[in-house]
Amino acid sequence: MAGRHYIYSQAMIKKFIRKILGVKEKSESGNNIDSGKNKAQNKPKVLGAKEHGIDPQLVSNNAIRVTQTLQENGFKAFIVGGAVRDLLLGVKPKDFDVATNATPEQVKRLFRRAFIIGRRFQIVHVMFGQDLIEVTTFRGASKNEAPKDEHGRVLRDNTFGEQHEDAVRRDFTINAMYYDPASETVLDYHGGIADIRKKTLRIIGVPELRYREDPVRMLRVVRFAAKLQFSIDAETRKPIPVMAPLINNVPSARVFDEMLKLLMSGHAMACLQQLRKEGLHHGLMPLLDVVLEQPMGERFVTLALANTDERVRQGKTVSPGFLFASLLWHQVLEKWEAYKASGELSIPALHLAADDVLNTQTDALALQRKIGSDMRDIWAMQPRFEKRIGKSPYKMLENSRLRAGYDFLLLRCASGEIDSEIGEWWTAFIQGDEAERVRLLSIKPKAKTSDAPAPKKRRPRRSNNRRPKTTAGE
């Protein structure tokens, strides 16, 4: 600790000597900075507690611990990004990020459970039990020699810099503010406070260049606009229709992560409608046009996403497999009917349809194997719900995916795709005792819910050695 304070003192002495001699300072990124005009331009608007109105009770104790530890060791440290935006909106953030002038290695040394991750830009995950605080070093101006692909997308950029440079590198003005829990001040470099009050989403810098650097920002525009119910600034929106194809050059895993955030934002339907409005669904979910133009399909997707949004608001878990199974169901249904029309039996036809849809979407969205498997299980269970005789329903009760398949069945009933009677029957069977289940099995189903062939009844075989009937008491 003494050595660290000695180094910090030495740095302060050097800075003082440079000031006396009139020597220009050098930033951590290696660029010369004039202590006069440029410094004034890079000075943020500082807002006190009365001006910004952030409730300290909404701030994570662990985020405060991280900023405090870094500051006590001579570093700058601020809560940054979406957390500050949510605090200014009076919402308790789900995640807290911290920005600092400490390098990843310096951050790692200060915390017992800290892990450096990332290739494109290194960050540190500081763990407090299950709580994760993400710590990033101030990013400097992107260097021309930083690795890029043929479309201009930055592949790796570990350039560190000063705080005002870091603010420039962030995507939107509302995400480029810094909050210091110790002084309860907010640093605003790009008019983020004003944009929050105007409910406007505005990208920092030249939109075309920012989208080319990282095309995923176009998906983030949609998500934030829908989630926050903000309007998109005209200049920010203008290039999106033209530059939308650049998303095809982004690794599928990153696109999938962003799509998952979009769908689990608690405003999934609004996000998808915004996605469609901006023309960004082509290549990701081209079926959205077809689904939302069909009354039954639109109702099904609307119900599924409303269910997801409600679970998110209640703090319940949401299954990505169930979500994507719902979004892609009517594509499966269309192909299923086509295979049956060509002569395939119902069950094999369903499996072929599922294969077709999953193969296509795996390429577009990088669906993980586990998610794809869950989707397939949910779809495959649907014809099995039609078999309400013998031991089949009892076997369904033993299926580990019963709850997901059953919830999916109820969506199909609610949307009008199939008769609600089948959903009511299964609700009673799942919740009922043994006597109730026996009674339900004795009820003849009203009608089939698909054109799957009914099982042929076998005539009981007669035995030549049948015993004669006996009367009671014999």
Active site residues: 95, 97, 171
CA distance 368 to 320: 10
* CB of 225 closer than 8 Å to CB of 243: no
Residue type, 57: Q
Helix, strand, coil shares, percent, the chain, to 5: 55, 10, 35
Q: φ, ψ for residue 94 (rounded to 5)?
A: -80, -35
**Cα-atom radius of gyration of the chain, to the nearest Å?**
30
Give the DSSP H/E element, type plus range, for residue 126. strand 123-128
Residue 5: other Cβ atoms inside 10 A: 11
Count of residues for the chain? 474
Contacts of 187 (CB under 8 A, 6+ apart): 44, 45, 46, 78, 163, 177, 178, 179, 180
C-alpha closest to that of 222 among 265, 173, 254 = 265
Q: Could you tell me the strand order of the sheet in which 45-47 lies?
A: 45-47, 185-188, 177-180, 77-80, 96-100, 131-137, 123-128, 114-117
C-alpha closest to that of 453 among 331, 343, 329, 332 = 343
Contacts of 367 (CB under 8 A, 6+ apart): 256, 324, 358, 361, 375
Residue with tokens 């709850």: 403
